[in-house]
Amino acid sequence: MILLNQDFLPQAIALISMATRRIDLSTFKAEITSKPRGRRLRLFFDTLFAKRAAGLEVNFLLNWNEARRAAPLCNLATILDLKRHKINVRILPNNRCCHAKIIIVDKDKAIIGSHNLSITSCHNNFEASYIIRDRVSVDRLSSAFEHTLNDSQKP
């Protein structure tokens, strides 16, 4: 299923709502906000936090580096909020850019595409993402995510 523009958040929320064991996420920009236009984005993060509070493993790769080269400033606040909710938040070593936008649930279904977890991406930009249900493709994506997670570091 192709998700264009504002179709992304409802499907992403539905996907993480179905998780029973593990949620893996990767994005360039993540914005946790209380702005009125960010209500659905906030619902996404609240759903993610509730899954973590229920005991699910949640891993979140996010773009950040000490030099703040090509790293959105909002990511720093998001890192702190994710840590507060006991989510395993990681960054890539050696100032590598984390640009992949991925959500994997229970190593069973995934969304991959261009949507960042930001108001601009979810409301203003032209974005396209895709839901993957094919087991072989999800396995390969999950394996790549896990390898990258193992090579990552705590911010």
pLDDT band at 71 (very low <50, low <70, confident <90, very high): confident
Q: What is the pLDDT of residues 9-40, one digit of tens each?
A: 999 999 999 999 999 999 999 999 888 888 88
Look up residue 50 and give its two tokens. 């509730």
pLDDT at 68: 62
**What percentage of the chain carries pLDDT values higher than 70?**
98
Rounded Cα gap, residues 87 and 83, in angstroms: 5
Helix pair angle (39-53, 8-17), 10° resolution: 10
| Contact (Cβ atoms closer than 8 angstroms) between residue 133 and residue 140 | no
| Contact (Cβ atoms closer than 8 angstroms) between residue 109 and residue 132 | yes
Look up residue 27 and give its two tokens. 């994005």
Instruction: Give a three-class secondary structure readout of 86-107.
Output: CCEEEECCCCCCCCCEEEEECC
pLDDT at 82: 97
2-150, CATH topology level: Endonuclease; Chain A (3.30.870)
Report the b/e string of 91-101 with b at 16+ CB within 10 A: bbeeeeebebb
What ranges do the domains of the chain cover? 2-150
Phi and psi angles of residue 128, each rounded to the nearest 5 degrees, phi first:
-145, 130
